[in-house]
Amino acid sequence: MSRIGKLPIVIPAGVTVTVKDNVVTVKGPKGELSQAIHPDLTIEQADGHLTVNRPSDDREHRAQHGLFRALIHNMVVGVSEGYKKEMELVGVGYRATSTGQVLELALGYSHAIYIKLPKEVKVEAKTERNKNPLIILESSDKQLLGQVCAKIRSLRKPEPYKGKGIKFVGEIIRRKSGKSASAK
C-alpha cells in the first residue's frame, strides 16, 4: 500500500468536497478548485475524512493512488488556508512594483519587464530601505502558484558567483569562488 495514498484527508470546517463523474470539486473560504481523477480510483467520504482507494496493486494504480491523494490534499489545504511564496530580488538596482495583477520588474536589463498574473494569484511587492525588494505571491492553487514563481524566477536566475538574481526567501545559493582561487 502506498504510504501517501493510504493516508486519509481531513476535511476542515467550512470546506465541502463533491465527487461527480471522476471530477473532485473542493469549495472553501479561499475559493473553489476542481481536478479530474483517474477513472479506476474511487473516493470515499465519511465523517470528515476523505480516502482514495485503488482497485489493484498494478504498477499504474499504485502510481496514480499517491498522486491523486496528494493533489486532492493540496486542493483542500489551498481552499482552507491558501499557499504563500516569497521571492527576493538580489542585485543593485533590482526593483519590483505591483499594480493590480501586473508585476513590473527592473532586473538590470535595458527595459522593464511587465508580467500579467492570473486572477487566482494575488501579488504584493514590498521595498524597504537597506533590504532587498520582496515579491509576495498568494493563491489557493499550489500548482499555479509554483508555475508563476518559476516563470518569474526564470527571468533572472540566481548566479553562483555574486548571488544576484531572483530567489526564494530562505533559499541557499551554492556559491563558487572566482578565477582568483584557481592555482597556477
Q: What is the CATH number assigned to the segment(s) 9-80? A: 3.90.930.12
What is the C-alpha separation between 137 and 86, in angstroms, rounded? 6
Check pLDDT > 80 for residue 171. Answer: yes
Longest alpha-carbon distance in the chain = 71
Q: Do domains 9-80 and 83-168 have the same CATH topology?
A: yes
pLDDT given for residue 182 in this prediction: 57
pLDDT tens string 69-97: 999 999 999 999 999 999 999 999 999 99
CA distances from 184 to 1, 105, 113, 119, 144 (A): 57, 42, 43, 56, 49
Could you tell me the pTM of the whole model?
0.88
Burial of 40 (0-12, 13-18, 19+ CB in 10 A): middle
Check pLDDT > 80 for residue 180. Answer: no
CATH pick for 83-168 out of 3.40.640.10, 1.10.10.10, 3.30.1330.80, 3.90.930.12: 3.90.930.12
What is the C-alpha separation between 35 and 24, in angstroms, rounded? 5
What is the C-alpha separation between 105 and 98, in angstroms, rounded? 9
What is the C-alpha separation between 136 and 86, in angstroms, rounded? 5
Residue 36 φ/ψ, nearest 5 degrees? -80, 135
Average pLDDT over residues 40-53: 91
Where does residue 28 fall: left (phi above 0), alpha (psi -120 to 50 degrees), or beta otherwise?
A: beta
The confidence band for 183, taking pLDDT boundaries of 50, 70 and 90, is: low
**Nearest of 32, 34, 54 to residue 44 by alpha carbon:** 54
Average pLDDT over residues 164-184: 84
Mean pLDDT of the chain: 92
pLDDT given for residue 4 in this prediction: 85
Average pLDDT over residues 103-109: 94
Structural domain boundaries in the chain: 9-80, 83-168
